[in-house]
A and B are shown apart, each in its own frame.
Chain A
Amino acid sequence: MIEFINVSYIHQTGVVALNEVTVQFGKGELVAIVGANGAGKTTLVKHMNGLLKPTKGTVKVFGYDTTQQTVAALSRRVGIVFQNADHQLFSDTVEHEIEFGLRNFGFSDDVVKQRVDWALRFFGLKEYANTSPMMLSGGEKKRLCLAAVLAWDPDVLVLDEPTVGQDLLHKEKLEQIIRLLLTQEKTVILVSHDIEFLWPMQPRTVVMSKGKIIADRPASKVFTDDYVLASARLINPQLVELSKRLKLSNEEVFDTIFTAKRWFLTKYRWS
């Protein structure tokens, strides 16, 4: 679906942002890309819709070489939601903001109306339909950006730091949306430092450091590996830390708060 073959990217300043990266992302996968600041995460995802073209190597999206495609053509299938909502919002109303992408991709008026209505309802923005996006709170702006991209129904959704500035309730809502997208066989790629958010979803985890992929394994294998975490300047999720302190084996590590609760109930009340 998305294939990086020996991809290197060197900035104008000479900084090597990606160094011989080879990785594939398949249909219906949930992938987390983690790593320290400057590890190359955002550079990697910007190659997925052709915003950046590789200095060396090939990026193929649905079989097409990205150097031969326009950003618009690739974005129709790979939707990227960037970190800073203020960099994206410009329309006079929330409704028009969602319309923007749909119009650019040439959807008919009927479809635009349908999709906008769906996005407004799905993201709880109906009451703000005629409000200026600038008047929304930080969390609402983030949701609007996500709504504006999901409105055109891309096959792959890339979320760059989706939980920054979000309260717990919105994080939970976001998790539900991601799980729903996965049931629809969408590929969801998360670029995030928020390991507490990632851990319960147990994504395939790609760890980057200095422009290279240093690990590409299930979350259960990455977030329990102290060496990999240290390389990516991350720490264990709290549930992993708790499991370690309870001296549980890697197979028994708590993945959600519910498994932890069950373990405690079994151990201290029912046993």
Chain B
Amino acid sequence: MYWMANAFIFRRRDSPIHALDPRVKLLISIELFTLSLISSTIIHISVTLAVIFSIAALAKILVRIYRTLLFTAGFSILIFVINFLVGYSIITSFVLAVRFIAIVGSTSLFFLTTSPDELEYVMKWFRLPQDVVFAFVTAVRFVPVLMLDAIQIMDAQKSRGLELERGNFINRIKKLAPILIPLVVTAVIRSGELAEAMEARAYGAVKNPTSLYTLTLKRRDKSVGILSVTIFAAVLIYFLSG
């Protein structure tokens, strides 16, 4: 559980990918997401995954992205089984299952290398409403907090004799109530406290609050952006022609 929670938490790293402008990271992520969606053969999906893992290695988050993808493997197996049962061939079912992993990997790349602050700047750059930006960024910030809460709640309930690993499937589902109820309650309490704290710090007092930082594209960001678009266009043509 600890290692799983760790996989979803953004951590600063000294890597060329982390140092990029978040808009460039978003661009790369969208490109990879598109490639994942249109990959229809084993070669296509292999190329897409290879690029995802190469970027993850460059960002020094290979282990963490591996953990994230391991977490999605269960759904992937489900996709494979369902597609196979409805009549698709083994290869098509396999590609569809791996495609799901690639989609998650491409989006994870962005979230694991972009801090919530950077995410906020990107959303503001897109001129999204302040309330929407705040709600989204807060939700992202709270994912690791909720994961850690869940771990503490599990520890507390295990200490009261709750054995999550025992019993049949139905019993195991029932045993989740002592975990989920305190998790929801603490999340609601925390959101109420956060709302009050934000209001106490004049949130919403002005329509367009100023920002301490502004996004600036450096030469390196522009070069990486142009390079990624060029490679993306070439691969896209190759995928569509194949």
Given A12-B2, A12-B6, A100-B178, do A88 and B153 touch, yes or no (CB 8 Å)? yes
Given A11-B2, A82-B152, do A75 and B182 touch, yes or no (CB 8 Å)? no
Q: Interface residues, chain A, CB within 8 Å of chain B?
A: 11-13, 46, 49, 51, 70-72, 75-76, 79-80, 82, 84, 86-90, 100-101, 104-105, 134, 148-149, 152
How far is A224 from B2 in the complex, measured between Cα atoms in Å?
39
- Is B186 interfacial (CB-CB < 8 Å)? yes
- By a CB distance below 8 angstroms, the chain A residues around B157 are 88
Per-residue 0/1 for B159-187: is the Cβ within 8 Å of any A Cβ (1 yes, 0 no)? 11111000000000000011001100110
How far is A31 from B177 in the complex, measured between Cα atoms in Å?
34
A86 touching B189, Cβ below 8 Å: yes
- Is B199 interfacial (CB-CB < 8 Å)? no
B161 touching A72, Cβ below 8 Å: yes
How far is A100 from B161 in the complex, measured between Cα atoms in Å?
9
Query: What band does the interface of chain B fall in when counting residues whose beta carbon is under 8 Å from A?
Result: 20 to 34
B2 touching A49, Cβ below 8 Å: no
How far is A13 from B11 in the complex, measured between Cα atoms in Å?
11
Q: Specify the chain B residue showing the minimal Cβ separation from A78.
A: B159
New contact pairs (7) apart from A12-B6, A84-B152, A86-B182, CB-CB < 8 Å: A13-B6, A75-B160, A86-B189, A87-B182, A88-B153, A88-B182, A90-B181
24 A-B residue pairs with Cβ-Cβ distance under 8 Å, sorted by A, are A12-B3, A71-B159, A71-B163, A72-B161, A72-B162, A72-B163, A75-B158, A75-B159, A75-B160, A82-B152, A82-B159, A84-B152, A86-B186, A87-B156, A89-B185, A90-B181, A90-B182, A90-B185, A100-B162, A104-B160, A104-B161, A104-B162, A104-B163, A134-B185
A88 touching B6, Cβ below 8 Å: no
A71 touching B158, Cβ below 8 Å: yes
Q: Specify the chain A residue showing the minimal Cβ separation from B161.
A: A104
Q: Specify the chain B residue showing the minimal Cβ separation from A101.
A: B160
How far is A75 from B163 in the complex, measured between Cα atoms in Å?
11
How far is A105 from B158 in the complex, measured between Cα atoms in Å?
11
- By a CB distance below 8 angstroms, the chain B residues around A70 are 163
A46 touching B3, Cβ below 8 Å: no
A148 touching B161, Cβ below 8 Å: no
Q: Specify the chain A residue showing the minimal Cβ separation from B5.
A: A12
- By a CB distance below 8 angstroms, the chain B residues around A100 are 160, 162, 178
Of listed B2, B149, B157, B163, residue having the most chain A CB within 10 A: B157
- By a CB distance below 8 angstroms, the chain A residues around B161 are 72, 75-76, 101, 104-105, 152
Q: How far is the CB of B65 from chain A (nearest CB, A)?
A: 16
How far is A70 from B162 in the complex, measured between Cα atoms in Å?
11
- By a CB distance below 8 angstroms, the chain A residues around B182 are 86-90
- Is B155 interfacial (CB-CB < 8 Å)? yes
Q: Interface residues, chain B, CB within 8 Å of chain A?
A: 2-3, 6, 149, 152-153, 155-163, 177-178, 181-182, 185-186, 189
Q: How far is the CB of A219 from chain B (nearest CB, A)?
A: 27
How far is A86 from B159 in the complex, measured between Cα atoms in Å?
15
How far is A79 from B160 in the complex, measured between Cα atoms in Å?
8
Of listed B6, B156, B160, residue having the most chain A CB within 10 A: B160
- By a CB distance below 8 angstroms, the chain B residues around A148 are 160
How far is A100 from B182 in the complex, measured between Cα atoms in Å?
14
Q: How far is the CB of B5 from chain A (nearest CB, A)?
A: 9
Q: Specify the chain B residue showing the minimal Cβ separation from A70.
A: B163
Which are the 10 A-B pairs with shortest beta-carbon distances?
A104-B161, A90-B181, A101-B160, A88-B156, A71-B158, A80-B159, A87-B153, A82-B156, A72-B161, A90-B178
- By a CB distance below 8 angstroms, the chain B residues around A49 are 159
- By a CB distance below 8 angstroms, the chain B residues around A101 are 160-161
- By a CB distance below 8 angstroms, the chain B residues around A46 are 155
Q: Specify the chain A residue showing the minimal Cβ separation from B181.
A: A90
How far is A169 from B52 in the complex, measured between Cα atoms in Å?
59
How far is A234 from B149 in the complex, measured between Cα atoms in Å?
28
Q: How far is the CB of A80 from chain B (nearest CB, A)?
A: 5
Q: How far is the CB of B175 from chain A (nearest CB, A)?
A: 10
- By a CB distance below 8 angstroms, the chain A residues around B160 are 75, 88, 100-101, 104, 148-149
How far is A86 from B182 in the complex, measured between Cα atoms in Å?
6
Q: How far is the CB of A44 from chain B (nearest CB, A)?
A: 14
- By a CB distance below 8 angstroms, the chain A residues around B186 are 84, 86-87
Q: How far is the CB of B241 from chain A (nearest CB, A)?
A: 45
Q: How far is the CB of A184 from chain B (nearest CB, A)?
A: 21
Of listed B2, B6, B152, B161, residue having the most chain A CB within 10 A: B161
How far is A12 from B178 in the complex, measured between Cα atoms in Å?
26
How far is A72 from B185 in the complex, measured between Cα atoms in Å?
25
- By a CB distance below 8 angstroms, the chain B residues around A104 are 160-163
A51's partner among B158, B178, B185, B189 (CB-CB below 8 A) is: B158
Q: How far is the CB of B46 from chain A (nearest CB, A)?
A: 30
